[in-house]
Structures are given as C-alpha cells and as structure tokens.
Amino acid sequence: MNNKEIVEEGQKYIMNTYGRLPLALVKGTGSYVWDADGKRYLDFVAGIAVNSLGHCHPAVVEAISEQANTLIHCSNLYWIEPQVKLAKLLVDNSCFTKAFFCNSGAEANEAALKLARKYAKSKGYTNRYEVISATNSFHGRTLATLNATGQDKVHHNFEPMLDGFAYAPYNDLAAMGAAISEKTCAIIIEPIQGEGGVIEANSDYLVGLRHLCNQHDLLLIYDEVQVGCGRTGKLFAYQNSGVEPDVMTLAKALAGGVAIGAMLVKQRADVFVPGEHASTFGGNPLATAAANAAINVMINENIPEEVVLKSNYFVAKLQQLVDKYDSLVCIRGKGLLLGLVADKQASTVVEACLNKGLLINCTAGSVLRFVPPLIVSNDEIDEAVAILDEALKECNF
C-alpha cells in the first residue's frame, strides 16, 4: 500500500484520536525513516523521545529477536529473568531500591498516584489523598493522570474532575507551599515540562520541593517519562540537580522502541503489598529484554555524555536561527530535549519541514520541539538546521 491508500484505510477504520500528518512510515534505521512511497525523512521526533538509540538499533533488535524465539510472555505469578536483570540495572545506576514494571508512562504515573495514597495510609494519615502537580504539566491520558495534568484544555469534555488533585504554578515554590494542605500526600513534577512547551525546573525550585516534602512527610514524585534515559545528558534527569525524589516514573526510551513503563521507588516509598497493584503485561520477557539491551548501550557507550556535546552543538546552530529570524524568541530545554520558542503559532513550520524531509513537532502552539535520537550526528544536526532554516523562511518567520 502507498501513503494515500494507508491514510484512506486508516481514516475509515481507526478512531480519530490523533491529528495525524498525511504519511505512513514503514521503515527506519538510525536517525532516518521512510514512508510508504519511499521518501526518506530525518527524524527529530524519534517517536516522541522513544527511539533514543535511533530506529532498529542492532543491540535492541538482537535482544528482541533472541527473546521472541525463547519466551515472549509469562505471568508475573512467576519470576521473569530479564525483568529481574532490568530492575537490578536500574537500581544499580540510580538512587532507588526497587522497581515496578508496566506498559506506558501513563500506567507508571497511575502506579505512582496509587502509591502516594498508600504511603499516606501506611504512615497513619487517614485523610491524606491529594496529589499536587504543576500547572502546564502533562502526566498522561488515563482518567487519573489526565486529572494530574495541569492543563484545562486536556480536561475539557471529561468533567467533572476527580477529587484528589490540586495545582500550583511551575517554578513557583511559594505557591506550591501554599497549596499543601492536611489532605496532601504527594507532589508530582516533571524536571522539564515537555508537552507544556519545554520548560525546565529551576534548581532552587527542585531543592525547595524536596524540603517541602521532607517537612510535611510527602512523597516527591518525578515524572521522567519523557526526560529520563539519557535525554538530558544524565542517565536520569534528577541527576542534573542532585535532588533525589522518592519515586520516579519512566517509559518512552526505556526499551529502545518497545512499549514499557517503570516506577522506581526509594525504600521509604516501597509500601505496596501483593494484591494492591499489578499489570498483566508489565515487565514481560520481550519488553524487559529490549530494555536491558537499550540501557546497557546507554551506559556502556557513554550516550548521556555524548548528549551534552551534541546539545551544545545543536543549541549553537539554533541560536543562529534565533539571531536571524524576528519571530524566534529563545531556545529552551536541556540535552536533546530542546524547544525553539516563537512569538506566533508554529505548526506551519512543522508542515514545511515535513515536505522538505525533516520530522519535527510543535507543542504549546508556538514551541518547535526537537527530540532526535541520542545517537544523532553533527552532520545530521546540520542537515536538520538547514531544512529548518528553509522552512522558517518559507513561513515568513
């Protein structure tokens, strides 16, 4: 089938839940993908920060192939060797002591929200059930994570909102402190708001959140679904500030393209007992084998350290565009999660780049978001910036 045929069939049979671009991707390798008509694209979306090792990384492909020929799935009623290995790998390279596995970032955040309530009950706080998140945040599309998301546009048509969630402005420590009440059991925060427009938390803000949680005996939850696994120049984003959360959620890049989610906890937050939480497919042999391969590549090939160098190069190139175009305001973000902020709607630039062979994304209406594979080369960054330059000119920026 060609692009047109796939699009037409999709519109006929698939629910309309995405604003899809009119192409169907059928193949990928490294930083490039191809559509059904054979056109090649430089991919600076990477599955929305999922394909961090590029498309079809040999180590991940080999791990998937070997595991698929051995054991694809078995129940968590039994111990699963690659799951155990992945838990150890993540714990050994972080500040956490235990792991729980699921299938997505939303599921990982759901687990964290449940855990926060259980933690409060385990400490004798019978009336604590409320979680505070930041305005402009994004934590998922399930009913609970939608409520944790601090964006009215995401809530629209799904009212009434669930009880148990409160919001405070991002990077405003005083407001967060004021939002804490006798009902509060946890604070959930993104170290960088990705969907919210690539906005980084101030170091003092994160230090302050840790102090507030210590003072009030709350759990501090970091949502690292988009920013974890090397994206910011550290294996985990919390390592940039040195502020350690009690709980961290991961997904997206964890298994190099295979669906997986994880919740990591410190000992004080390890309060679930059998029967209180579970996931049928969570931590299955196939997904955890892929994740072991992906994380081992990250560590053994010093991918996070390389991200810092590539980020510096990319930012310098983007700054040249900011200096050139009046409608570009600034660059935000860290590592290879970068946002080019405009003073007007920027979706037309995404379409122009698509036509020229570059895949990028627009978030918060006016922020061009770049989340390329972490193995991207400087030459590929040059290629992307050249196409972006042409697109900005074409769109009268």
* Catalytic residue set: 138, 223, 252
Question: At what angle are helices 81-92 and 285-300 packed, to 10 degrees?
Answer: 30
d(CA 273, CA 114): 12
Q: Which of 224, 23, 243, 254 has the alpha carbon at shortest distance from 109?
A: 224
Cα–Cα distances in Å, from 60 out to 255, 256, 288, 293?
8, 7, 11, 5
- Check: CB of residue 76 under 8 Å from CB of residue 277: no
Q: Which of 197, 202, 200, 164 has the alpha carbon at shortest distance from 183?
A: 164
Give the three-class secondary structure for 227: coil
**Type of residue numbered 201:** A
DSSP sequence for 172-208: -HHHHHHH--TTEEEEEE-SEETTTTSEEPPHHHHHH
Q: Which of 310, 341, 173 has the alpha carbon at shortest distance from 233?
A: 310
- Check: CB of residue 259 under 8 Å from CB of residue 104: yes
Phi, psi angles (nearest 5°) of residue 366: -130, 15
Q: Which residue has the tokens 């061009």?
A: 368
Q: Which of 96, 47, 92, 89 has the alpha carbon at shortest distance from 222?
A: 96
d(CA 231, CA 55): 16
- Check: CB of residue 341 under 8 Å from CB of residue 15: no
Length, in residues, of the chain: 397
Read off the DSSP letter of residue 244. P
Q: Which of 328, 250, 335, 338 has the alpha carbon at shortest distance from 295?
A: 250
d(CA 165, CA 144): 9
